[in-house]
Structure 1
Amino acid sequence: MTKRMGMTGSVKVVDGLSVVHGIALEDEQGIGALTLGGYVREIAARYGPREAAVIHLDGQVVRWTYDELYARSLQVAKSLIALGTGKGTRVGILMTNRPEFLAGVLGAALAGCVATPISTFFTPSELEVVLKASGVSVLLLERSVLKKDFAEMLAGLEPEVMAAQPGALASRRFPFLRYAAMIDSDEPLGMIETFAAFRRRGAGVAEELVLAASDAVTPADPGILLFSSGSTGKAKGILSAHRGVCLQLWRWPQWYAIRDEVPARTWSANGFFWSGNFACALGGTLSRGGTLVLQRWFDAAEALDLMAKERANMALAWPHQWPQLEAAPNYQDVDLSSLVYVDMHMPIARHPTVNSTWREPGQAYGNTETFTLITVFPSGTPEEVAGKSHGEPTAGSTIKIVDPMTGATMPLGERGEIAVKGATVMLGYLGIPLSDSTDGDGFLRTADGGYVDAQGRLFWEGRLNDIIKTGGANVSPLEIDEVIRAHPDVKVSQTVGVPDELLGELVVSCIVPVEGASPSAEAIRDFAKEKLASYKLPRRILFVAEDDLQTTGSSKIKTAELRKLAAERLAEV
């Protein structure tokens, strides 16, 4: 075994094999409480009077300090205990990004419950699946989200909701659900109470009882239940331990290189019910005493105004949202000079008032099953160290590359399937024995392809079923799209493999042009030819509308559907 000094310690590479170990967990710095109840108590003790969150809501501006965040979370915990919840009881949090989401999740943790954030993008049928699978006993919901009425949706799924008295549901469809309350309505709906009524339930519960419940939770206990929005099939329930979630919350400000003298004021409109935004936004902000600038859902013009008014210095957005911000009618007039933690190569960094030299820690790899990153190079890592890799293992983590068919560990440098093990890996999928998800050595097989090099760096090449096998060679769509997206006339590029009798698969790039641009296929190929080997060049280029790209709830393009569309388009020619 050889060692190399990584960014945070010694990375160990097993000689001759594709196995890389991160530094020992006990050697990691900057980690605090390892339960979510302990986390909110610690940040409140550290940053009490500082502003933790702000939201502009219905013409009002609501600001919570860290002390208020703890007090509101404590209030939720008291009411949950009064309802009879116990250690491990699952509490559904069906809300957009608003302060009550934070109090709901952290309050559930203080009470010893398992917080279960639920996506507000779900349709009635998806919500039914998740409520059944999660087994939530208490549901705290936001009734009105855009055109959706989740109270009516719940009543439509289970008519007994309308007939039952508040707090007295006995549902055959959702046999574990006993109670529901709305945070944004002054009138109950059947058995669904108002939030005011929910809070009154906990009036007689002592804080000491909540703290005793919080202290009874261990880092190994289940802490968060999330549902992935995978590219195929139904949402999967992914259960994570308190330790894994809290480790990531403490790590993100380190990965972001947040300076103590410039705490993050983070604008975010992407759902906290996804592990990425939960860990990046909440951890990157609250763990260092920053402020969450909340937006319930993404609206580009409103987001820009919000960033300016609240002097946000960090902006977290998905790739497709940057062009929407640029296209907003107020983009040229808004003052974004407060932005510091925005990648210097992101579109918003071109704004005339922005002057950023910061780099996002984009050389990283992870998923919901690892509660975000399991390999990373922090912001500011020199290019000669990071190269084009996707980082080195996090503390306490091990990465290995295996043969997708046999599971045998691959020789160092050879491609295969990425398998992971570590402190942030999930406790398991709901309804599936952990042994069915891991190999004999306890590694989670990710179905992602890649390799590791002699420096202990991971190179991720995309989903195994997305890697294109053309003319006997393996081609990574990620590499092709990284090149094509740099063309000034390209808004979105997604490359797929389409079955071909001669080559096995044809490399086809599906491109959404920038509005008003009309690039030719030849121009795109000539542009890509400068950086891609000939066998990696797309044989065909299809120009598609953005509406043609079906996406998951977390805005990942459904490549299987796109592959089918591309095959149909080519067959028409």
Structure 2
Amino acid sequence: MTDTVRALLDTGAENAPAIGGEDRPDLTHGALRAFADETRAKLNELGIGRGDRVAIVLPNGPEMATAFLTVATAATTAPLNPAYRAEEFDFYLSDLNAKAIIVPHDYDGEALGVAEGRGVGVIRLTARAGEAAGLFDLDGAPLGGDAAAGAAEPDDVALILHTSGTTSRPKIVPLSQKNLAASAGNIGEALALTPNDRCLNIMPLFHIHGLIAAVLSSVAAGGSTWCSPGFNALRFFNWMETAKPSWYTAVPTMHQAILTRAGRNMETVKAVPLRLIRSSSSSLPPQVMAELEETFGCPVIESYGMTEATHQMASNPLPPAARKPGAVGIAAGPEVRIMDLDGKLLGSGETGEVVIRGANVTTGYENNPKANAEGFTDGWFRTGDQGVIDAEGYLTITGRLKEIINRGGEKISPREVDEVLMDHPAVAQAVTFAMPHPKLGEEVAAAIVLREGEATDERSVRDFASKRLADFKVPRKVLILEEIPKGATGKLQRIGLAEKLGLG
């Protein structure tokens, strides 16, 4: 049974490509398997084994992908954002109880002093020049102590990530080898991935979306992932020409940036036909979905994911089944239901909290009994999202419970307002959020980015919205910005936006 990362690596044909990258030959599946076993032996030699936690601080690219895949066969991986500051590294390395940290061979950034100060072993990674993408050497002093040698087993923790913690201290999410294997299989099935498929990865590889949806699901299907050095809309079409992918996966803001460059790159779009485009990690405006399908001439599959589910929970199906713009699709792996505040499961058409259970769902947060008591009810994980499932089983997310705007008792879904604002001919991006109000508690505000060459003002946008929304849902404040602040993974973040934009 393929219930470990190492077992998933056995899928691909010996000489078929597995990992690609800029200016390097592809790494084959056979070479990746051998390299995983070589890396496990090296880590054991350095004193790292099953259950030991290894933080990985590497830039995007093939080495980050193979470091995740190979270290996960031997120990517990903990990818961290290389852009963190010393204070953040200090929090994460301490919270994770990391035994070692892997950094580039020439790294002299802020993680180094923190690791040394905390007694965390430093392992330097050097890419093998002139060899296949993703091959590297590890160099570090032996860490002492006994390492639990050998291949990781199904119940071992393979990956540890923190929740984003926009409203509270980030929570530790441990994901087992079995969780990862189940999720990779779910994504492969939803997208009908085959050995002929090649994903162009533009997602950051310290985040669940890129790690599981782009890299692990591709390798598990016997296909390949071409790893970009990080998202860059100006280089995206060059990468398409080089990588010749059959699909890519991204967050909505990336799709929007790609669309702004697509008009002048239609030759590439035609020369490298995509089988599908996937969108996940935040809601895709239906307008963007329609424009992507028209531009690339392929189906856009919106999926619904979160860290605690090892990414995917629901997905719109491939044609000929229906893709419903605005819906995140049907259950695609775990069971998905709607629950009320008292823990009662609701029927189709009823709105409540989205709950899930299945082989890809974490068994609980680490060292956090309070979060576990709040997060699980009768074996169901409460996602914190509000939604409704229609008679055909399609789930629509109506909002994040914490993001629902409470305007003097009137509850407003910011997503509903976003979709109306996106219909304005001058608006390219919109995010609706709560701003404080002395009497009502919260008031509706929105930040927008205009399409290139378009002009409008706050009054015009509010007038447009007032013709389509009940008065209490119309934003009282509309900010026109060059760019809306985003999180590290490119997602627009509603929580804390009022404060960031000086509306606190």
Task: Report TM bin, short chain.
Answer: 0.7 to 0.9
Shift of the 199–179 alpha-carbon distance from structure 1 to 2, 3 Å rule, reads closer
Residue 341 of structure 2 corresponds to residue 397 of structure 1:
no
Structure with bigger RCO (C-alpha 8 Å, 6+ apart): 1
Alpha-carbon distance in structure 2 between the residues aligned to 1:358 and 1:462: 25
Partner of 1:359: 300
* Structure 1 residue 240 displacement after superposition: 0.7
Alignment: residue pair count: 483
Shift of the 197–90 alpha-carbon distance from structure 1 to 2, 3 Å rule, reads closer
* Structure 1 residue 533 displacement after superposition: 4.1
Structure-to-structure mapping, 1:218-233, within 5 angstroms: 218-233=153-168
Shift of the 402–480 alpha-carbon distance from structure 1 to 2, 3 Å rule, reads same
Residue 209 of structure 2 corresponds to residue 276 of structure 1:
yes
The answer as to whether partners of 1:301 and 1:328 remain within 8 angstroms in 2 is yes
Shift of the 409–142 alpha-carbon distance from structure 1 to 2, 3 Å rule, reads same
Q: Partner of 2:448: helix, strand, or coil?
A: strand
Partner of 2:411: 474
Partner of 1:20: none
Alpha-carbon distance in structure 1 between the residues aligned to 2:347 and 2:223: 44
* Structure 1 residue 539 displacement after superposition: 3.9
The answer as to whether partners of 1:493 and 1:511 remain within 8 angstroms in 2 is yes
Alpha-carbon distance in structure 2 between the residues aligned to 1:453 and 1:280: 26
Give 1:174's aligned amino acid. Answer: R
Partner of 1:98: 61
Structure-to-structure mapping, 1:507-526, within 5 angstroms: 507-525=444-462
Identity of aligned residues (%): 22
Q: Partner of 2:234: helix, strand, or coil?
A: helix
Give 2:364's aligned amino acid. Answer: G
Alpha-carbon distance in structure 2 between the residues aligned to 1:153 and 1:567: 30
Residue 475 of structure 2 corresponds to residue 534 of structure 1:
no
* Structure 1 residue 496 displacement after superposition: 1.8
The answer as to whether partners of 1:497 and 1:505 remain within 8 angstroms in 2 is yes
Q: Partner of 2:50: helix, strand, or coil?
A: coil
* Structure 1 residue 295 displacement after superposition: 1.0
Partner of 2:318: 379
The answer as to whether partners of 2:418 and 2:431 remain within 8 angstroms in 1 is yes
The answer as to whether partners of 2:353 and 2:385 remain within 8 angstroms in 1 is yes
Alpha-carbon distance in structure 1 between the residues aligned to 2:459 and 2:482: 21
Structure-to-structure mapping, 1:180-191, within 5 angstroms: 180-183=123-126
Residue 16 of structure 2 corresponds to residue 50 of structure 1:
yes
The answer as to whether partners of 1:401 and 1:451 remain within 8 angstroms in 2 is no
The answer as to whether partners of 1:97 and 1:272 remain within 8 angstroms in 2 is yes
Shift of the 48–437 alpha-carbon distance from structure 1 to 2, 3 Å rule, reads farther
Partner of 1:117: 79
Alpha-carbon distance in structure 2 between the residues aligned to 1:476 and 1:244: 32
Shift of the 377–451 alpha-carbon distance from structure 1 to 2, 3 Å rule, reads same
Partner of 1:293: 226
Shift of the 324–507 alpha-carbon distance from structure 1 to 2, 3 Å rule, reads same
The answer as to whether partners of 1:498 and 1:567 remain within 8 angstroms in 2 is no
* Structure 1 residue 35 displacement after superposition: 0.8
Q: Deviations over 1:446-481 (max 9, x none)?
A: 322223445544332222121123465422111221
Residue 447 of structure 2 corresponds to residue 498 of structure 1:
no
Q: Partner of 1:297: helix, strand, or coil?
A: coil
Match for residue 354 of structure 2 among 396, 402, 418:
418
Alpha-carbon distance in structure 1 between the residues aligned to 2:169 and 2:439: 35
Shift of the 507–335 alpha-carbon distance from structure 1 to 2, 3 Å rule, reads same
Following TM superposition, where does structure 1 have runs of at least 4 consecutive aligned residues deviating by more than 6 angstroms? none
Range with bigger deviation, 133-142 or 429-438: 429-438
Match for residue 458 of structure 1 among 395, 408, 413:
395
* Structure 1 residue 49 displacement after superposition: 0.5
Shift of the 120–143 alpha-carbon distance from structure 1 to 2, 3 Å rule, reads farther
Residue 425 of structure 2 corresponds to residue 484 of structure 1:
no
The answer as to whether partners of 2:122 and 2:140 remain within 8 angstroms in 1 is no
Range with bigger deviation, 437-446 or 341-350: 341-350
* Structure 1 residue 543 displacement after superposition: 2.8
Q: Deviations over 1:93-145 (max 9, x none)?
A: 2223323223322322332x11222222322221221111112223222256x
* Structure 1 residue 525 displacement after superposition: 4.5
RMSD: 3.5
Which structure has the larger Rg? Answer: 1
- TM-score w.r.t. structure 2 length? 0.84
- TM-score w.r.t. structure 1 length? 0.74
List gaps (5 residues or longer) in structure 1: 1-31, 162-172, 187-194, 202-208
Partner of 2:258: 325
The answer as to whether partners of 1:239 and 1:430 remain within 8 angstroms in 2 is yes
Alpha-carbon distance in structure 1 between the residues aligned to 2:336 and 2:236: 39
Q: Partner of 1:87: helix, strand, or coil?
A: coil
Give 1:180's aligned amino acid. Answer: I
Q: Partner of 2:379: helix, strand, or coil?
A: coil
Q: Partner of 2:92: helix, strand, or coil?
A: helix
